[in-house]
Amino acid sequence: MIRSEHSIVHYDFQRMIVRPDRLRRGTDADYVAAAKQMLRIYRDGIGDPRQVLHGRIETCLNRLSGCPPRRIAAFCKLLDDQSEYLSNRKAALQLRRQVFDFAADRHPIVEHREGIFDHDVHQVRSELAKELGRTWPEIEADLFSDVLELQRLQAFDSEWTPQQLLSAYNVAQTQAALYRATRVRIDATDDLKTIVRHAKLAGLMHRIDLIWSAEQPRYRFIFDGPQSSLRQSTRYGVRFAALAAKLLACRGWHMTAEILGPRKQRFRMELSPADGLSAALSAPDAFDSSLEADVDAAWQKAPVEGWTWKRESLLLVRGQTVMTPDFTLHHQQRGLLVYVEVVGFWTPEYLEEKCCRLQEFAGMTPSEGHAGDTVKWLLIVSGKIESNLREGLADLQLPMVSFDTSASPQTWIDAIG
């Protein structure tokens, strides 16, 4: 991610909205060629100091009309993040001591010998290189390798295309706008488990509400920091930014962020897949395991009439504890909603944790269900699980079937009762 000093945002004081800086294919088409040149600068710049590379990027972008300094600095940061620079503070400090001690014994050192000044700089460098067993250019390159601007590029292995670099810039500016966010709301209908997982990884406090509509249920995630209403802090904003990058790989979501602007006025920023930002991450896997994929394939092959089958379409929430059943079965006429949990062949510890989680959520009464439906559970268990490990699952007293690829899903419905 880029830093706050690289952020460019446009404030609309009439609508009180924030628009992060964004390069567009039509109006900013010249940046494609510039991005190609910037990538070439880094790929051909192995061994060059960071400040030299940044100078070349500045020269490249200054040719474009209206390119602000912050945009230049942001591109430098993005390219640096894809780079590996040579830096060894301890070695640089030791080398400086060797060079300065060596030079001190020959002080004064002059450009050309004259009179009593018989130590010229070229001779001293040659003698020093011989003593250290290195060439002077090598010594000079490492002498201040602990200074950020003087660190030399060691590797640039990025496979970015020019379009991907520009896309990374747009994402980074959007993330940077969130640094000043105090509250974020996400409405989502898909990839719910992925959103919850990344919110927890980001260390965000959250509240989850279920909102029913005529089409399908959606979930509202409210993220904020405990001190966001007391004082301005980018601590949670950085976490919001990290979550936003993960969201871009998901489907069916809409983000509304409350952002602190000039004079501490509160602005709004909207973000959704419709903005066309590309994620650096791949989309979530279709299934968490091959067993889940096999179970889904078995249903798709022989679906039972009257029943609707969906994967990870609902969240069960109790306080800060969240569970996403692997699948749901819904029979509208019967008013019956079935949470389907697939239990694969794992360790005893995994099964114990699974049983504890199921025990907690399986006690939900119909009033805690959804849209007034009667709630039931169904466990689809791998046939590879040993009989002694099934005992914990049996103690849950939930309908349970052993999965067999040749069995009809009708047997699952029969087990529900």
- List the Cα angle 316/354/384 in 5-degree steps: 130
Question: Which residues in the chain are classed under CATH 3.40.1350.10?
Answer: 290-416
How many whole angstroms from its chain centre is CA 156?
21
- Nearest alpha-carbon partner for 54 in 32, 28, 83, 13: 83
Looking at residue 229, what is its pLDDT?
44
| C-alpha pair distances (Å), 220 with each of 204, 209, 227, 374, 385 | 15, 5, 21, 23, 37
Q: Tens of pLDDT along 363-375?
A: 654 434 455 678 8
Q: Tens of pLDDT along 48-72?
A: 999 999 999 999 999 999 999 999 9
- Nearest alpha-carbon partner for 154 in 230, 50, 233, 225: 50
Q: Across-strand partners of 328?
A: 310, 339
- Token pair 């965000």 is found at 204
Q: Tens of pLDDT along 311-361?
A: 877 788 776 677 888 899 999 888 899 999 888 766 677 777 778 888 888
- Thinking of the domain 290-416, which architecture would CATH place it in? 3-Layer(aba) Sandwich (3.40)
pTM as predicted: 0.75
- Nearest alpha-carbon partner for 125 in 141, 109, 146: 109
* Cis before 399? omega within 30: no
